[in-house]
Structure 1
């Protein structure tokens, strides 16, 4: 059980900032998926599952063996049918690039054989967002974001981005690397912005993905205030973010009332009727989507493939 805030903050620091020489790097790439002959046609999830075959995740095809791609990447599918390739950690940028490019070509060829293609933009310029994966996690996320506004559905089911994953670095360099990533984020957004259209209309934004992402749930998607992008503040940010949902087995339950994870520890009004566990804290870590985040390496933190435990800047183009 998590019994006090200081213990929780210490735990977050230990599992999220595994220090050492920065040797590994990886990448996660997402694309919207379209029918080649008519990109505005709603995506057929059955066609996508058939195209991915035994590489399809079980969220899309429950009986899939979920095989790795030829160069080691793993395919997952986002709520609206966006395809994601997550690479294994590599120690060489050239090997990462070569392996990733090969796996991208492989997936694109499989999709082409089924009359599908990967999209070219950070937001779907043709179709309104539509969720095609019906999992307890995505349903709970949609409920939570709907209480804030319309952007959560667009972000979850109608946008795509990429994320660079890096080792945290040595103890004496973690803070500097963390700060540098925060400062580089706006530059990278400006360089890669390519989504001025969304669901058939011009939005007035160079990156409509940034708009939908940041407006989905500012408590868990916004960067920290200027000057507060310190590695040491990450644990506090985690504990002061509202609990999105409470996992009970395969089910996801809404908390009785809005409450932060720190409030759950303290038994504040609105807290679930049981104390939190470290497994709950691990899962809570997987519900923050800030531009730079440190990821837990505890096995229960996320269902995503293994990756460096890092501060990593997504490029929300």
Structure 2
């Protein structure tokens, strides 16, 4: 759940200002049309594609006491210095560490920069007796929220009011690999890339599933993280209803999402949706401004989030050796039309299989077939995308280790043998480490 995502900027000059770009932050929204204009002009900004960014999240633990929460001030002190590859270091509510890469001109540069930063991160943590959990959900009982910011307090209150604890689980017990890719050169290209990222989504969820345990127990799913997101708040975490115009569909999704909080102070429980607010049906609130719309956009967590670029959010965090693979796979699919066409054709029969992907992963025969065809398409185009033989070998190694055997990282024996990923009995309370 990235609260401080990498600011993806393109190398070339931006496209001409679209509708909504003239609106200032304090401009009052006069109706639903302003929301549509802003989404089209800002969230679906067009321009020559090519830039790649990625964000990596992990839970940090002390291997001698893996159920204890590592105090956030300790992590902040350890990771206060600059990263050699230029990544930004931030922290999630329970102290999960997040590396956000600089925007890179190609996937090879993005991976190389992040690999330097990951190696540095792991070395710094190891020097203080710490390491990362190589899974996307916390196998130990849920840790306390350590970031006491108005945004997180309001978010927690909103999700608590839904009558389940999935919000706290999401905020405190999940981690991801996220990939940021330019939206496209023009509206047709944007629509094609948007469709592709969603069509291959369930197949990639299955291929990279890495969260079979949560809170000290096996959940029966290979991607428990994906199940948490699916059940959390569908109006803000499921994909927008598809149609031929992704910007219009996304604007409707934005309008129909419930308000989580309002104002710079993140006042919780405003009630209603953005559509209610811009239509004047929430008289207890001042009329919304462009700044209110921008805040609302940050509270939406669909599988692919439109931010002027496409932020792919559906991938589980992976063990440190494997994260370059999904970054490379996604960048190759969007860079090479032949790979995109082959992968989209192969994955179309399972394009809606989000829940099957989370539960069964590659044990589902249709998802396994789609994953094999997708990797075929990617590997055929890799020589044209990256001149790094090591990166191509890593993709091939992942395929041989998992995809060809209808397995995913959640199937690794480490989940049954290591205290880092197995966890204690679910009734054992996690203890907060003091700073």
TM, length-normalised to structure 1: 0.86
Matched, 1:194 2:210: yes
Could you tell me which residue of structure 1 aligns to residue 184 of structure 2?
Answer: 169
Matched, 1:277 2:289: yes
Cα displacement (A) at 1:7: 1.6
Between Structure 1 and Structure 2, whose CA radius of gyration is higher?
2
Cα displacement (A) at 1:272: 4.2
Structure 1: 5+ residue runs without aligned partners?
56-67, 296-308
| Root-mean-square deviation (Å) | 1.6
Could you tell me which residue of structure 2 aligns to residue 21 of structure 1?
Answer: 48
Distance in 1, matches of 2:151 and 2:137, equals 22
Which of 207, 224, 242 is the matching residue for 2:223?
Answer: 207
CA contact 1:292–1:314 (8 Å) conserved in 2: yes
Matched, 1:9 2:36: yes
Distance in 2, matches of 1:91 and 1:49, equals 30
Q: Greater helix percent: which structure?
A: 2
Could you tell me which residue of structure 1 aligns to residue 201 of structure 2?
Answer: 185
Could you tell me which residue of structure 2 aligns to residue 40 of structure 1?
Answer: 67
CA contact 2:69–2:143 (8 Å) conserved in 1: no
Could you tell me which residue of structure 2 aligns to residue 150 of structure 1?
Answer: 165
Cα displacement (A) at 1:226: 6.2
Over 3 Å counting, the alpha-carbon distance change for 1:132 and 1:73 in structure 2 is same
Structure 2: 5+ residue runs without aligned partners?
1-27, 317-435
Q: Deviations over 1:145-201 (max 9, x none)?
A: 011111010111111001110001111311011011111110110011111100111
Distance in 2, matches of 1:204 and 1:11, equals 42
TM, length-normalised to structure 2: 0.64
Cα displacement (A) at 1:36: 2.4
How many pairs does the alignment contain? Answer: 287
CA contact 1:40–1:127 (8 Å) conserved in 2: yes
Distance in 1, matches of 2:315 and 2:127, equals 29
Over 3 Å counting, the alpha-carbon distance change for 1:166 and 1:147 in structure 2 is same
Residue aligned with 2:131, SS: strand
Matched, 1:289 2:312: no
Matched, 1:31 2:70: no
Distance in 2, matches of 1:225 and 1:17, equals 16
Which of 249, 258, 262 is the matching residue for 1:233?
Answer: 249
Distance in 2, matches of 1:225 and 1:234, equals 8
